[in-house]
Every structure is written in structure tokens, then in C-alpha cells.
Amino acid sequence: MIMPASIDAKSYYQASAHPFPPQPSLKGDLTADVCVIGAGFTGLSAALELAEAGYKVVVLEAREVGYGASGRNGGQICTGFSPGQQRIEAQLGKEDAVKCFAIAEEAKKLITDRIDKYKIDCDLQWGYLHAIPKPSQFDDLREWKDEWDALGYTDTQVLSKSQLEERLGTRIYHGALREGGAGHFHPLNYCLGLARAAIAAGVRIFENSAVLDVDQGPMVTARTAQGSVRAKFLIIGCNAYIGRLMPELYGRIMPVTSYIIATEPLGENRARSLIRNNDAVANTNFIVDYFRVTQDTRLLFGGRASYSTLEPPNLGAYMRPRMLSVFPDLKDVKIDHAWGGYIAITSNRIPDCGRLGTNIYYAHGYSGQGVALAGMYGKLMAECVKGQSERFDLLTRVRHLPFPGGPIRTPLLVAAMLFYRIRDALK
Ligand SMILES: Cc1cc2nc3c(=O)[nH]c(=O)nc-3n(C[C@H](O)[C@H](O)[C@H](O)COP(=O)(O)OP(=O)(O)OC[C@H]3O[C@@H](n4cnc5c(N)ncnc54)[C@H](O)[C@@H]3O)c2cc1C
């Protein structure tokens, strides 16, 4: 995959990451019980679970730990699945959709449990606002709350415009659903914490070790430029960064770029005047604006997804007007960091997971909600290796339409994006 320049620009997260020792690159041939490709939330979560259960695990990472979306996302820990419960229910029926929601709830708990267990210092903060850009969307918030109440998730509150404005220093929204059970953290420091825990549990991580091809069979071999890993099981955690490594998976997901800017530190008072309780915030548009304040009082503002591979020449200048449309008073504020990354979407925005043969597992396409879900899908793949596949099998029953390949792939998505932009504007 061709990476546009700013995709590699140094992010706020890299600038504030806790030290993590570089891992060697793979040289020579190894054997393992399980080979994992990709050192993001999915891969590291699976590796950690398996090593703690006594498996010999090797992780191969093309760049460095957290290089992909896990080290560069908005840090927003979300509830449920991106398209909401109804789309899952339409496919799996009510009872199984409820089980899926329970899995998504466990995904958030998994983060808290691991932060506690491995003492991961990553600025975890609970509280989340879903803000509506149009007054006509107020009924949607009530329906959303009712849906979650019925699922037993009751830590939510519908806020009127005036109640929201007591919490948020902008007047552009018309109300919000506030959740106490979603929140935000420093994703790269969480990812590095997972890697540290995995290494302590015996996982060998190799960085700068891109897997170039995979031989399938009763034993799987993953080959890099200078070595190979032969294993009984292979777990693929490459998400949007997979390129064409596994032809069977191409077309199941589509990479979409999302960009984030981080302001200079604003100071405690100014930061609190934007988001009083330090909640994470997202609007309810299809093309989402998401923002939050970091521990050192910067505003992190993300959004403006792009389905084309064209990269704006100056990301900071490109994103700034969006931020000012929400917080016009920040005109004088400097942008210290601007970066982007790839989100993997599926056609129905429900994650896609499954098996290739009997011993290769994959999970991807979290559609912008992978901060919590990716770790959980990694854990579920580990459960499969351990012989308990019930929960993973449930999720594999979700059907996905493949994206087209060839020359119409990108133009089709650009057109789809335009459609949603217009719909967001008209709604
Ligand atoms: C800008 C941005 C903002 C986002 N904001 C949010 C948010 O606020 N909330 C939310 O829930 N989700 C968000 N997401 C999505 C979320 O970050 C992802 O869903 C999640 O991190 C996916 O984790 P992963 O481990 O599956 O993939 P990744 O973290 O992308 O890891 C995949 C890894 O695989 C490696 N790899 C790929 N191919 C190979 C190969 N051939 N050999 C070896 N290694 C390989 C890559 O180098 C990469 O490190 C955002 C994503 C982006 C890009």
C-alpha cells in the first residue's frame, strides 16, 4: 500500500509515548504454536491471551509496535458496533444480537481489566458525548437510549441543548446522548503496554518484519525478507494495513483515511471551557467529527475521512477549519501535530472475522470502532486456538457484501462518500 506523506507524520502520541525498547527483526527460521501478524490491538491481544495460556507465540510486525491504527487513532472507547444494534439483529436475530452486544460490552471491560492488571499508564478517562448537529435528530437520541436501556446498558442520559452547553463550549449542537460507560485514553501508550505485557508473558515480537507471503496447510509458514515462522496456527491482525497479503481477504474491507490534529497545550482552564468534564465527544454524522482533550490539555480533533488515496498537502490547514467550526474561539491556537491513518471499513460497518482453512483466523473492519472491539476480537481468536470458538463463530455468521476490486474500487467509494456528505448536510 502506498502511504501518503503525512500518514507517517509524527503524531502527538509518538511525541508523548512512554519508552519502549525496539524489538529485533526476524532473521532465520523459527517454529511456534501460533504466529500472529500485526502488532496492533488485535494481534497483541491475541498474542497476550495465548502466551498466558502457555502457547509459544511469535508476532511479526511490518513496522513497529502500534504503527497502524492502534497507535494513531482518536483514542475514543466506544460502545457497541458502528452501525448500531438493529443491523446485527436483522442478520442474526434478537437473541444472538444481544450476545454480540455483550461481547462489545466486554471489549470495554477488557481494556479496564488490562490497564489494572498490567499497570498500563495511558490516561484512561470515562465519559462520552454523542452530539447531534440537527434539532430533528433529538428523537434519535431517545430511541438510542431506549435501545441501550433494553440491552441493560443504562449509564446514559439524553441532554437537551442547554444541558449540553453546560458541558461543552460550543453552541453548534442541539443535544446529546451522554454515556458514562464509554471514554478515551492514549491509544499508543495502551498498545505499548499490551506489548510489554505480551513480552513479559513470553511472546517474541519482531519489528520491521513484514510478512511477504503465507503458505497454508496443516502447518502454516509466514515468510519475511530474512526469515520465516512455521506454526500450527496463524492469526491475522493487519486490519486496514494488510494490502494484498491475503488475496482471500482483499475486498472484504476497504481502507479509509482519517486525520487528526492536536493543538498546543491550552492550559487547564481553557481546556475545561471546551469540554467541562473531560468527556470524549463525537457528532452523529456518518462522516464523524471526534474530539477530546489530552492529559496535557491539548484539543485533539479528528475527522474528515477520505475514501480516495489523495492526501491534502497541508493536513493542519485542512483540518483546522473543521475544528474552528466547532470552537471558533480557538483561532489564535497553534496546531502542534497533524497526522492520519487508515481505518478499515466493511460494507455494512460490522466487523468481519473468520477462518481460512482450519488454522488461520482473521478479524478486521471494525469500521471506526476498533479501539475496544479489536482487542476483544483478538481475544476471541485466542479462544478459538484454545478450542472454545462459540463466541467467534457467532460473529462469523454476520454476512458482508464484498467491495469491488479493480479500477472502480476507489471511485465507487469516493462517490459513496459524497453521497453521505450530502446526506449529513441535508438531514
Ligand atoms: C485516525 C484514526 C482514528 C481512529 N479513531 C478511532 C476511535 O477514536 N475509536 C475507535 O474505536 N476506533 C478508531 N479508529 C480505528 C481503530 O484504531 C482500529 O480499528 C484499531 O486500532 C485496529 O487495530 P488492529 O490491531 O486490528 O489494526 P492496526 O492497529 O492497524 O494494526 C495492524 C498492524 O499490522 C501490521 N501489518 C500489516 N501488514 C503486515 C504484514 N504483511 N506483515 C507484518 N505486519 C503487518 C501493520 O504495520 C500494523 O501495525 C481510528 C483509526 C484511525 C486510523
Per-residue pLDDT at 419 exceeds 80: no
Percent of the chain with pLDDT over 90: 86
- Tell which atom from ligand 1 comes closest to the C-alpha of 75: 8
Q: How many domains does the chain have?
A: 1
2 occurs within a structural domain: no
Q: Are strands 220-223 and 280-283 parallel, antiparallel or unpaired?
A: unpaired
Grid coordinates of 369: 470502532
Residue of 35, 239, 300, 377 with the most ligand 1 atoms within 8 Å of its CB, for mutation:
239
224 occurs within a structural domain: yes
pLDDT of residue 2: 44
What's the chain's average pLDDT? 93
**pLDDT tens-digit map of 156-182:** 999 999 999 999 999 999 999 999 999
Domain that holds residue 53: 12-416
Q: Indicate which CATH number applies to the domain containing 401.
A: 3.50.50.60
Paired strand residues for 337: 262
pLDDT confidence tier of residue 40, bands split at 50, 70 and 90: very high
**pLDDT tens-digit map of 58-91:** 999 999 999 999 999 999 999 999 999 999 999 9
Query: Is residue 57 within 8 Å of residue 256, measured between CB atoms?
Result: no
pLDDT of residue 192: 98
Q: Which of 213-217, 286-290, 370-374 has the lowest mean pLDDT?
A: 286-290
Per-residue pLDDT at 417 exceeds 50: yes
pLDDT of residue 415: 64
pLDDT of residue 7: 57
120 occurs within a structural domain: yes
**What are the angstrom distances between the C-alpha of 200 and each of 48, 196, 197, 419, 425?**
9, 6, 5, 48, 50
pLDDT of residue 248: 95
Average pLDDT over residues 328-349: 95
7 occurs within a structural domain: no
pLDDT confidence tier of residue 201, bands split at 50, 70 and 90: very high
123 occurs within a structural domain: yes
Grid coordinates of 190: 495502551
pLDDT of residue 312: 76
pLDDT of residue 76: 98
Per-residue pLDDT at 147 exceeds 60: yes
84 occurs within a structural domain: yes
- Tell which atom from ligand 1 comes closest to the C-alpha of 370: 19
422 occurs within a structural domain: no
CB distance 39 to ligand 1 below 6 Å:
yes
1 occurs within a structural domain: no
pLDDT of residue 290: 97
pLDDT of residue 394: 98
CB distance 307 to ligand 1 below 6 Å:
no
Q: What angle do CA 373, 218, 394 make, to 5 degrees?
A: 30
**pLDDT tens-digit map of 95-122:** 999 999 999 999 999 999 999 999 999 9
pLDDT confidence tier of residue 8, bands split at 50, 70 and 90: low
**pLDDT tens-digit map of 382-395:** 999 999 999 999 99
pLDDT confidence tier of residue 402, bands split at 50, 70 and 90: confident
How far, in Å, from the CA of 283 to the mean position of ligand 1? Answer: 22
pLDDT of residue 144: 96
- Tell which atom from ligand 1 comes closest to the C-alpha of 245: 41
| Nearest of 188, 123, 179, 116 to residue 147 by alpha carbon | 179
Residue with CA at minimum distance from ligand 1 atom 19: 370
Per-residue pLDDT at 146 exceeds 80: yes
Q: Give helix 94-118 / helix 85-92 axis angle, nearest 10°.
A: 130
CB distance 42 to ligand 1 below 6 Å:
yes
pLDDT of residue 426: 55
Per-residue pLDDT at 143 exceeds 60: yes
Residue with CA at minimum distance from ligand 1 atom 38: 242
